[in-house]
Amino acid sequence: MSSKWTESDVPDQSGRLAIVTGANSGLGYETARVLAGAGATVVLAVRNTDKGEAAAAKIRELHPNAQLSVRRLDLSSLDSVRASADQLGAEHPRIDLLINNAGLMYTPSRELTADGFEMQFGTNHLGHFALTGLLLPNLLPVRGSRVVVVSSMAHNIRAAIHFDNLAWEHGYDRIAAYGQSKLANLMFAYELSRKLAAADAETIAVAAHPGMSDTELFRELPFPVSLGFKLTAPLIAQKAADGALPTLRAATDPNAVSGDYYGPAGLGEVKGPPRRVRSSRQSRDEDIAARLWTVSEELTGVSYPV
């Protein structure tokens, strides 16, 4: 493989089944596009199925033989997550890749999910935690299967797991709340990796982050930061297609091992080709991760088969 890992380094994915959450736009769309082009059967798991069908149509224009389907998934509702997992699990007894990509960023005011969780934590972390646990039985028997969790550089920006204030009932701070959710994503990936290894499972768990990528997520940046980003994005941010490369490497690189974390190789991990990177010390705290896992099982009602 080249020293600068690109889309062309994705191995043949023929015969593999990949589920990508939030695949109708941005990083998720680019991830689905590349996987489909490499021969994978790809499920676009999205909240808005009309947008999902439009994204699938765009991919088919590029790859007429692409094997695609669109399924509804609202990560802000555990009922929707369970219904989606039931459908996906029944349709696809064998799952090779589960890519937990979808997310919300910087919701301006404190909002709650259908189950009463703070929206960013509930969607970004708890929704994916529940989905992964419910689908894991379909991954465990599959040799080479992977769970990929998309985190963010924000896991280290004013981020902590506020066990006494997970719903941000006191002093909502959208930047800190987003940081908490992305820190939770990473801790989930690492703890899942440890549990899979302890069970001698065929499945591995890998994490990734896109650096600073010009996607729809940045529409919720606080003003005037949003204005500054729009003006400087061509200089400081990379395109969504490049931002998806760490996810794609985590999902397909034959040399990836469980617990790896991929991000851009450039200065500050803002942009550049994907490589293994190191996350914050806090994200690697096994005691906090174990506590978060227990709390996540209690909040979602989902217990893992490992």
In the chain, the domains with their CATH numbers are: 9-300 (3.40.50.720)
pTM of the model: 0.94
Using a pLDDT cut of 70, give the percent of the chain over it: 92
Q: List Cα–Cα distances, 184 to 53, 105, 177, 245, 274, in angstroms.
A: 30, 14, 11, 22, 22
Q: 67 near 55, Cβ under 8 Å?
A: no
Token pair in block for residue 151? 């985190």
pLDDT at 229 exceeding the cut of 50: no
234 pLDDT band (50/70/90 cuts)? low
Question: In the chain, how long is the greatest CA-to-CA distance?
Answer: 51
Q: 98 near 148, Cβ under 8 Å?
A: yes
46 pLDDT band (50/70/90 cuts)? very high
Which residue is catalytic, options 29, 178, 190, 261? 178
219 pLDDT band (50/70/90 cuts)? low
Q: What is the pLDDT of residue 221?
A: 54
Is 178 among the catalytic positions? Answer: yes
Phi, psi of 238, rounded to the nearest 5 degrees: -105, 160
Span 48-63, mean pLDDT? 98
User: How confident is the model over 142-151, as pLDDT tens digits?
Assistant: 999 999 999 9
Task: State the DSSP string of 220-262.
Answer: GSPTTHHHHHHHHHHHH-B-HHHHTHHHHHHHH-TT--TT-EE
Q: 220 near 162, Cβ under 8 Å?
A: no
pLDDT at 64 exceeding the cut of 80: yes
- The rounded mean pLDDT for the chain is 94
220 pLDDT band (50/70/90 cuts)? low
Between helices 49-62 and 26-37, what is the axis angle to 10°?
A: 40
pLDDT at 1 exceeding the cut of 50: no
Q: What is the pLDDT of residue 118?
A: 98
**Would the CA dihedral through 218, 219, 221, 227 be positive or negative?**
positive
CB atoms within 10 A of CB 183: 28
43 beta partners? 19, 69
Q: What is the pLDDT of residue 237?
A: 81
Using a pLDDT cut of 90, give the percent of the chain over it: 91
Span 152-159, mean pLDDT? 96
User: How confident is the model over 261-306, as pLDDT tens digits?
Assistant: 999 999 999 999 999 999 999 999 999 999 999 999 999 999 999 9
**Of all helices (H) and strands (E), which one includes residue 187?**
helix 174-198
